[in-house]
Amino acid sequence: MTKTLILLRHAKSSWANPDLPDHSRPLNKRGQRGAKAIGKWLRGAGLVPDRALVSDARRTRETWEGLGLDAPLTLTPALYDATPRQILDVVIADGHGDVVLVIGHNPGIGVLAAEMAASAPKHPRFAQFPTAACLVLDLPCADWAEAAPGTGAVRAFVTPHDLT
């Protein structure tokens, strides 16, 4: 049995208001387009998650909304500014679903992507894990508690730039 983990960095956020706390920054227009493009790609690839674990920051919530996916959502404050291990711990603690989408922030989400993949995808932007980058991994486990670094088979890695 396998589990599918979709790791998504939030889409491009706005820095237009320097007085806004980081947690409150919204998406900019490019980010809104990027979230829609990734959502369309996920639906087209048949990768609609059973559940979504999303940081409670405004830009991650707006990324989720822009994806246009129909799945149970859990807003998870622990994903804001989380380390790779903390992100994986959130997935394991939740323990639900065979296809789980996590929307978080760099550096944690990008480092976790690199750590979970058995080998990195041949994509020039993977190491940077830019905004709205999306990695799909198939993990050889029947339970999320068995998910281990270095075991994920990369099914796909895309960025909005690849889709537009």
pLDDT (tens place) for every residue of the chain, 164 residues total: 899 999 999 999 999 999 999 999 999 999 999 999 999 999 999 999 999 999 999 999 999 999 999 999 999 999 999 999 999 999 999 999 999 999 999 999 999 999 999 999 999 999 999 999 999 999 999 999 999 999 999 999 999 999 98
On the question of a cis peptide bond just before residue 107, with omega within 30 degrees of 0, the verdict is yes
Distance between CA atoms of residues 75 and 16, nearest Å: 25
- Return d(Cα 61, Cα 17) in angstroms, integer: 18
Q: Tokens in use for 64?
A: 């989720």
Domains and CATH numbers, the chain: 3-118+138-163 (3.40.50.1240)
- Angle, vertex CA 25, rays to CA 14 and CA 132, nearest 5: 65
pLDDT value, residue 137? 98
Q: Is the pTM of this model over 0.95?
A: yes
Give the C-alpha distances (Å, rounded to integers) separating 61 from 9, 11, 66, 137: 11, 10, 9, 22
